[in-house]
């Protein structure tokens, strides 16, 4: 047993767990983070031969107050890299060609991504009544905006964020901000206008709103910084094998070789692992958390000489709607997005393949995965020859899916844990999958547990 008992044991040292530990420590708490592998979780940056490759997250939107606070406290604001002006352009595939998503009303009228019927149908959107019950993202969009928007705007977005299936994702859970526009304003248009007015008048505390953020040394610079600052309270290569309530209050946590005790515990590991730890003393909660599905994804980074790729690569990347029949979900253009991602004269592409609609991708060989990606990208980007290098990363538990019933499941799980004071969760399977969401929610949890 460790000598000094921490106030909080955090199980899982991905960004959620590290951020929780940081914010709790900043509020004076004694913490310990127990991480099965190396801290950082999904954040993994590789630097090789002049390339900077992100195996997991590439960037995140700097529009959550907690995220901005973390960067300020870690003195990382000046370590950010600015995205290029082209980052705003996102391509979507239609009929074998990549088209930029419209950036304004004139582009919108001109874009071939949506038919005239799709465009005219939008005029009716403010008059459509809100739904009375939980809907899938697909049903919500079909009802309010029509099939064209589902296919060429929402489906690719859902692929990009969740690698998910819009027919199964819950609009309330997966796209909560969009859902709230309907719930609170009765219409997406009215809601979007109200948001714009609110932003103008209140200067929301969100830091620089919506800027794509990465760092000079890539995303891992953030987790490494936390890893170093928390070094004395971080145990790596330390998978937690058991969690038990202690009679009289508090929690006992075990790894294969050690035990810890604390008043409070934060589960910051993926839902299936949290379920395993909870199962011995609250099997119903474990069953609920075990029902959270995950999308499997492989990311493939490909390096080419600039001359091998015909496309201008003048954007964030391209998304491939499911109805276009391409296996790859989409591709980012990291060397166009941030400086320092590829040597001069070279380009770096990072594609994602698999997802909820194509399970099993992680069982294929690196060669098979990268060949499939190359076959898909070759005609779309005008690629000649083979990549000079490639890197394949497998993520069997890439992204948790906020599917129909997700919020209810979490609520029931929360109720099931009510009889066990001092156990909390904070991970990407509740309240947002983006890195900035994970950090923001960690800040909120710390404030709730240790109010100023």
Instruction: Indicate the residue among 114 and 429 with the shorter CB distance to ligand FAD.
Output: 429
Instruction: Find how far residue 427's CA is from the centre of its chain.
Output: 11
Looking at the Cβ atoms of 42 and 322, the one nearer to ligand FAD is 42
What CA–CA distances, in Å, run from 180 to 130, 206, 276, 369? 10, 18, 33, 38
Question: Cβ closer to ligand FAD: 111 or 220?
Answer: 220
With a CB cutoff of 8 Å and minimum separation 6, the contacts of 411 are none
* Least Cβ distance, residue 194 to ligand FAD (angstroms): 26
CA-to-CA distance for 404 and 168, rounded, in angstroms? 6
Beta bridge partners of 215: 80
Phi and psi at 44, nearest 5°, equal -145, 115
Assess contact for 353 and 297: CB atoms under 8 A: yes
Among 257, 261, 256, 252, CA closest to 241 = 256
Tell me: does residue 214 bind ligand FAD (CB under 6 A).
no
- Residue ranges of E strands in 64-189: 80-81, 90-94, 97-100
Decide if residue 62 touches ligand FAD (CB under 6 A). Answer: no
Whether residue 103 contacts residue 165, with contact meaning beta carbons closer than 8 Å, is answered with no
Find the part of the chain contacting ligand FAD (CB under 6 A) among 181-189, 264-272, 356-364, 371-379: 264-272
Among 267, 329, 433, 446, binds ligand FAD (CB under 6 A): 433
Q: Tell me, residue by residue from 3 to 42, as one string, x for binding to ligand FAD by CB under 6 A and - for no binding.
A: --------xxxxxxx----------------xxxx---xx
Location of structure tokens 């038990």: 244
Place of tokens 């106030």: 7
In whole angstroms, how far apart are CA 359 and each of 182, 398, 402? 32, 11, 17
Task: Report, in Å, the least distance between residue 16 CB and ligand FAD.
Answer: 3
By DSSP bridging, strand 31-34 and strand 80-81 are unpaired
Residue 329 Cβ vs ligand FAD, minimum distance, rounded to whole Å = 10
CA distance 234 to 20: 12
Segment near ligand FAD (CB under 6 A), from 54-62, 146-154, 190-198, 355-363? 54-62
Residue 13 Cβ vs ligand FAD, minimum distance, rounded to whole Å: 5
Identify the residue among 60, 84, 372, 401 touching ligand FAD (CB under 6 A).
60
* 336 sits near ligand FAD (criterion: CB under 6 A): no
Residue 400 CB, nearest distance to ligand FAD (Å)?
8
Between 380 and 435, CB nearer to ligand FAD: 435
Binding mask 234-263 for ligand FAD (x = CB under 6 A): -----xx-----------------------
Binding mask 382-401 for ligand FAD (x = CB under 6 A): -------------x--xx--
Out of 57, 146, 164, 355, which residue is the one contacting ligand FAD (CB under 6 A)? 57
With tokens 């959107």, the residue in question is 125
Question: Binding ligand FAD by CB under 6 A: which of 45, 170, 220, 434?
Answer: 434
Q: Which residues within the stretch 268-327 sit at the binding site for ligand FAD (CB under 6 A)? A: 268-270, 273, 297, 299
Give start and end residues of each alpha helix (H) in 215-296.
220-229, 271-278, 283-290
Nearest Cα neighbor of 425 from 404, 396, 403, 400 is: 400
Among 56, 148, 207, 321, binds ligand FAD (CB under 6 A): 56
Residues that bind ligand FAD (CB under 6 A): 11-17, 34-37, 41-43, 56-60, 239-240, 268-270, 273, 297, 299, 395, 398-399, 427-428, 433-436, 438
């Amino acid at each position: 047993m460790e000598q000094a008992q921490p106030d909080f044991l955090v199980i899982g040292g991905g960004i959620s767990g590290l951020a929780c530990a940081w914010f709790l420590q900043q509020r004076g708490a004694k913490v310990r983070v127990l991480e099965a592998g190396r801290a950082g979780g999904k954040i993994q940056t590789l630097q090789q031969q002049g390339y900077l490759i992100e195996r997991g997250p590439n960037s995140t939107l700097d529009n959550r107050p907690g995220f901005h606070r973390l960067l300020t406290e870690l003195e990382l604001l000046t370590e950010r890299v600015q995205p290029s002006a082209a980052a705003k352009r996102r391509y979507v595939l239609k009929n074998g060609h990549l088209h930029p998503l419209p950036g304004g009303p004139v582009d919108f009228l001109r874009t071939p991504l949506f038919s005239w019927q799709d465009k005219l149908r939008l005029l009716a959107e403010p008059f459509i009544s809100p739904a009375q019950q939980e809907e899938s993202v697909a049903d919500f969009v079909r009802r309010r905006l029509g099939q064209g928007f589902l296919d060429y705007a929402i489906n690719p977005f859902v692929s990009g964020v969740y690698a998910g299936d819009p027919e199964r994702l819950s609009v309330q859970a997966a796209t909560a901000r969009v859902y709230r526009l309907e719930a609170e304003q009765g219409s997406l248009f009215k809601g979007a206008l109200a948001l714009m007015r609110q932003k103008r008048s209140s200067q929301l505390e969100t830091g620089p709103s919506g800027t794509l953020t990465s760092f000079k040394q890539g995303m891992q610079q953030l987790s490494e910084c936390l890893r170093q600052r928390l070094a004395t309270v971080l145990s790596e290569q330390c998978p937690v094998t058991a969690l038990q309530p202690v009679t009289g209050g508090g929690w006992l946590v075990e790894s294969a070789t050690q035990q810890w005790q604390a008043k409070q515990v934060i589960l910051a590991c993926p839902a299936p692992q949290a379920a395993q730890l909870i199962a011995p003393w609250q099997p119903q909660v474990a069953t609920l958390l075990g029902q959270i599905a995950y999308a499997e994804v492989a990311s493939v980074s490909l390096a080419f000489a600039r001359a091998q790729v015909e496309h201008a690569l003048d954007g964030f990347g391209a998304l491939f709607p499911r109805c276009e029949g391409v296996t790859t979900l989409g591709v980012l253009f990291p060397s166009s997005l941030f400086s320092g991602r590829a040597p001069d004269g070279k380009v770096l592409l990072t594609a994602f393949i698999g997802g909820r609609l194509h399970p099993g991708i992680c069982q294929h060989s690196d060669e098979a995965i990268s060949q499939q990606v190359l076959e898909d990208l070759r005609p779309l980007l005008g690629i000649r020859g083979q990549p000079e290098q490639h890197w394949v990363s497998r993520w069997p538990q890439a992204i948790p899916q906020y599917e129909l019933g997700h919020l209810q499941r979490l609520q029931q799980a929360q109720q099931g844990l009510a009889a066990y004071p001092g156990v909390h969760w904070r991970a990407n399977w509740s309240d947002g999958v983006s890195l900035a969401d994970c950090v923001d929610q960690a800040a909120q949890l710390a404030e709730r547990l240790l109010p100023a």
